Amino acid sequence: MTVTSAAPGRWVRTRHRSPDPGTGPEPAVLRVVAAGPAASVQDLGRPGLAHLGVPASGPADRRSFRLANRLVGNPEDTPALEVTLGGLAITLSTTRHVAVTGAPAPLTVDGVPVEGAPRLRLRAGSVLAVGRPWAGCRTYLAVSGGIEAERVLGSASRDSLTGLGPDPVRAGAEYGLGPVRPVPAVPLELAFSVVPCGGPATVRFRWGPRHELFDAADRHRLTTTPWRVSAECDRVGARLTGPPLAIGSVDLPSEGTVRGAIQVPPSGEPIVFLADHPVTGGYPVIGVVTDADIDLVGQTLPGDELRLVPVH
């Protein structure tokens, strides 16, 4: 077993015995053995371009993404893999530390289960496989040095709405690895991700900007209905199902939207915008999920129950 963790919850720091500068005659490469249903390359996206119609994109669960990079010593914005519903298997041409965060998923190295290790040292040629998560849906895999991927408008994030950024991850794809980085002494017992698990997830939001277009009964219903995430959920947004809100015939010109916006289309069933949301929308936004809780929504699965709680 190539894992350096002695036991779940306990961590033994190791040093590289043979430093790998990643600059030898053989380039350091990550090869995708199996891609799973929806894996993509992400960094922290391309903010600041919304006025040109460019979505911010980036990881659906930014907190887990940043954690994965920190665990392997990378700057937080380093490109890594977002794995949705597992199914990914990779191998490295050179031994490196990798970190796996986000939705907790069964991991194996060469078929042998790995337990309780958000960071592990993956030997050259060994196959690391990420199975289907038992809670949440998005798992992040970062490699020391980061993966090298095409950058479009300054970002290596795949934007599922517009197609900007690197191609979707496919079996057989290869990505170069950046120069290896020293692995920091992160207290790994604190290195956990928050995913919805066991019961309804409480999601906080702020009213506005268009809550006034809804009457008091509908605003009340938004906060008292147990909403379920429908099968219509992807990186653009998550549609919620429940007793529909009434919005009547609202004629609202397109206006800028933010991640977390709870948009209510004519069906009356809210959609929560996620990482690849469009920069403008024409349906009224009754509220916006807080920065703190939108990552949690990015981890929800169809059937998960959400309770929307207003904050001030």
Partner 1 sequence: MTAADAMSVNVTAVDVASVDVASVNVTSSETILRRAGDRGWLIECADRHPAEVATSIRAQPWASGLREVVPAARTVLVVAETAAGMGKLAAGLRTVLDGPGARPTGPPPGRRIVIPVRYDGPDLPGVAERLGLAPDEVARRHSAGEHRVGFFGFAPGFAYLDGVPESLRLPRLSSPRPRVAAGVVAIAGNQTVVYPGGTPGGWHQIGVTTARLWDVTAEPPNRLAVGDRIVFEVVAP
Task: Pick one of 118, 260, 284, 298: the residue that binds partner 1 (CB under 8 A).
Answer: 260
Query: Contact between 251 and partner 1 (CB under 8 A)?
Result: no
189 or 215: whose CB is closer to partner 1? Answer: 215
Tokens of 93: 């041409």
53: left (phi over 0), alpha (psi -120 to 50) or beta: left
Q: How far is the CB of 253 from partner 1 (least distance, A)?
A: 4
Query: Contact between 52 and partner 1 (CB under 8 A)?
Result: yes
Q: How far is the CB of 216 from partner 1 (least distance, A)?
A: 4
Choose one: 4-12, 44-52, 108-116, 134-142; the region binding partner 1 (CB under 8 A).
Answer: 44-52
234 residue type, one letter: D
Footprint of partner 1 on 185-244 (CB under 8 A) = 206-212, 216, 219-220, 223
Tokens of 278: 């469009």
Footprint of partner 1 on 274-293 (CB under 8 A) = 278-280, 285, 288-292
Tokens of 181: 């980085």
Q: How far is the CB of 104 from partner 1 (least distance, A)?
A: 27
Number of residues that bind partner 1 (CB under 8 A): 45
CA 29 to chain centre: 23
Task: Pick one of 29, 50, 124, 135: the residue that binds partner 1 (CB under 8 A).
Answer: 50
Tell me the per-residue interface mask from 143 to 182 with partner 1, x by CB under 8 A, - otherwise: ---------xx--------xxx------------------
Footprint of partner 1 on 121-140 (CB under 8 A) = none
d(CA 168, CA 159): 9
Task: Pick one of 258, 268, 302, 305: the residue that binds partner 1 (CB under 8 A).
Answer: 258
d(CA 48, CA 46): 7
5 or 263: whose CB is closer to partner 1? Answer: 263
Query: Contact between 31 and partner 1 (CB under 8 A)?
Result: no
- Which H, E and C letters describe 40-77, residue by residue? EEECCCCCCCHHHCCCCCCCCCHHHHHHHHHHCCCCCC
Point out which residues bind partner 1 (CB under 8 A).
47-55, 152-153, 162-164, 206-212, 216, 219-220, 223, 253-261, 278-280, 285, 288-292, 310, 312
